[in-house]
Structure 1
Amino acid sequence: MESWNDWAPDGLDTDRPNVARIYDYYLGGSHNYPVDREMARHVMASFPDVPTMARLNRAFLERVVRHLVASGVRQFIDLGSGLPTAGSVHEIAQRIDPEARVVYVDSDDMAVLYSRVMLVGNPHATVVHADVRNMRQVLHHRDLRYLIDFTEPVAVLLFSVLHFITDDDDPQGMITEIGKTVASGSYLAISHASRDGTTEDTDHIATLYARSGNPMALRSGSEIGALFDCFPLIEPGLVALEDWRPDPEQPPIPAVVYSGYGGVGRKM
């Protein structure tokens, strides 16, 4: 889908592809620009299933949030939340409990701008402009602390984020900081791209993203599982996205050769 227009807020860099806007394009959104669409088309030329993978990831997010609300969680932190689109965390959670609290965190100016517009009039949701690589700063941000009570269980969501966090940025350290901060009974949910079971096309995609200034870290399943650290995985463990507690009531999404891994862990 082409963008509804090519207007951009003052100061927004539309000369370089942006991960959040590319993902928006995969999902059929309109918050993207020519440079993002060009990058997305290059990726799709090597891996046509990428838009389907994005939809599988979104469906996984919905199942996770519904499961966690059903398990009693009423606080959510969506890290690297990206651009708002249908089925955002607050929409899913507040459909079940209107007082569920959600904090979105992103470093992208456009994602933050549109999220703020979307959340006008919603006292139980906000967006924080911060870089998730500085997890201590994120978790101590005043606006996050206004809504999130760390003496009570909270769900921390990292969907399609960590494969853009290289080892030099210490993803394990980020999760260790989360584990030190949240209360027992809190949850960590991750979806992550991987090279496992894929072809050399995956390496080509990683090269394309790196050239655009968005390097990828396509970890193995065992490496992704290790990231859960102090959050032991709940059933069914770390699995293909479509295999995590599938819901027969969700509209079917065509199967793909590879969808990435997803899992949810709970702090004891």
Structure 2
Amino acid sequence: MAEPEQPSTARMIDFWLGGEHHYPVDVAAARAFEGAYGPCAAIFRDLRAFLGRAVAAIADAGVDGFLVLGAGLPTRGNVHEVATAASVLYTDVDPVTVRLGQQILADNDRAGYGYGDATDIGTLDRAQLHRFVPGWGRRPVGVVFLGLAAFLDDATLARTLEEIYEAVSPGSFLAFDFDSEELAGYPEALAMMGPQFRMRDPASFGPLLGRWTPTRDGIVAVSRWRVDGVPAAVPDAFHGGLAVKPAG
């Protein structure tokens, strides 16, 4: 694949996570953002650790099929590397990310990658969905919805989460996060995120989930969600948790 001319958030995160699937243009963009807001690597490693704990909790509940929306790159402790007995479908809207993800997973028969717009699950390839999330619509599945809420207005986010809720079976889980107002004090970094980026007061997070019911852990800074030992010393840039579609 030819080296891209524009940076990608997915590849910038791969760089911050210590991965190998990024290009000089991504490193330059990541360094520029670090100059405006420093602790990017620590924050995204903490968010990836939260993803790992959330996915492990879903798998421990007996779920063996996952749909990952806005997935980025399927590396560095992503879903199939945590829930090793499960099958996983990663999706994204960026064609470069999709192609790279397909290359990474080319030899994996339990994980696939395809195009999918998180705000319209009708765009998912049905054959891929039923191959890699075989219980879709019939038994509980895990849906990973990280890094997306900040780029959706309230109405779109509510509609999207309701559409997912309607599509999955009772007992299904949603792993989610929200961006706090951390970047409000860093105007240069905030400008880099673009006009679609939405920070939210943590008090507003719960109502945005609609009919999804958070587990008793609630919605907390991801560094403190079911963490063993002392939470990572990082800013509370992301809050998140697990929610479930109740049975019955």
Quick one: which amino acid aligns to residue 49 of structure 1? Answer: P
1:243 aligns with 2:229: no
TM-score by length of 1: 0.83
Mapped to 2, the partners of 1:236 and 1:31 lie a distance apart of: 34
Q: What does the per-residue CA deviation read over 1:217-250, in whole Å, with 9 as the maximum and x for residues that have no partner?
A: 22221333222211110021000001110134xx
Q: Secondary structure of 1:37's partner?
A: helix
Mapped to 2, the partners of 1:127 and 1:257 lie a distance apart of: 32
Q: Is the 8 A contact 1:176 1:230 kept in 2?
A: yes
Change (3 A) 1:118 1:159: same
The equivalences for 1:48-87 within 5 A come to 48-87=38-77
Aligned to 1:162: 149
1:88 aligns with 2:69: no
Aligned to 2:15: 25
Comparing 217-226 with 177-186, greater Cα deviation is found at: 217-226
Q: Secondary structure of 1:116's partner?
A: helix
1:204 aligns with 2:188: yes
Aligned to 1:4: none
Shift of residue 21, structure 1, vs aligned partner: 1.5
Aligned to 2:127: 142
Q: Where does structure 2 lack aligned partners over 5 or more consecutive residues?
A: none
The equivalences for 1:169-184 within 5 A come to 170-184=156-170
Mapped to 1, the partners of 2:170 and 2:231 lie a distance apart of: 35
Q: Secondary structure of 2:139's partner?
A: coil
Q: Is the 8 A contact 2:173 2:245 kept in 1?
A: yes
Change (3 A) 1:164 1:25: farther
Q: Secondary structure of 1:264's partner?
A: strand
Quick one: which amino acid aligns to residue 101 of structure 1? Answer: S
TM-score by length of 2: 0.89
Mapped to 2, the partners of 1:183 and 1:155 lie a distance apart of: 10
Q: Secondary structure of 2:97's partner?
A: helix
Mapped to 2, the partners of 1:129 and 1:58 lie a distance apart of: 22
Q: Secondary structure of 1:102's partner?
A: strand
Quick one: which amino acid aligns to residue 39 of structure 1? Answer: A
Work out which of the residue numbers 102, 127, 133 in structure 1 matches 2:88: 102
Aligned to 1:267: 245
Aligned to 2:138: 151
Q: Secondary structure of 1:256's partner?
A: coil
Change (3 A) 1:254 1:246: closer
Mapped to 1, the partners of 2:172 and 2:151 lie a distance apart of: 24
Q: Where does structure 1 lack aligned partners over 5 or more consecutive residues?
A: 1-8
Mapped to 2, the partners of 1:39 and 1:225 lie a distance apart of: 33
Q: Secondary structure of 1:45's partner?
A: helix
Shift of residue 189, structure 1, vs aligned partner: 0.8
Mapped to 1, the partners of 2:62 and 2:141 lie a distance apart of: 10
Mapped to 1, the partners of 2:48 and 2:146 lie a distance apart of: 9
Mapped to 1, the partners of 2:55 and 2:120 lie a distance apart of: 24
Q: CA RMSD in A?
A: 2.1
Quick one: which amino acid aligns to residue 168 of structure 2? Answer: V
Mapped to 2, the partners of 1:200 and 1:133 lie a distance apart of: 30
Shift of residue 254, structure 1, vs aligned partner: 4.4
Q: Secondary structure of 1:173's partner?
A: helix
Q: Is the 8 A contact 2:93 2:117 kept in 1?
A: yes
Q: Is the 8 A contact 1:136 1:177 kept in 2?
A: no
Number of residues paired by the alignment? 244
Shift of residue 91, structure 1, vs aligned partner: 1.4
Give % identity.
Answer: 30
Shift of residue 167, structure 1, vs aligned partner: 4.7
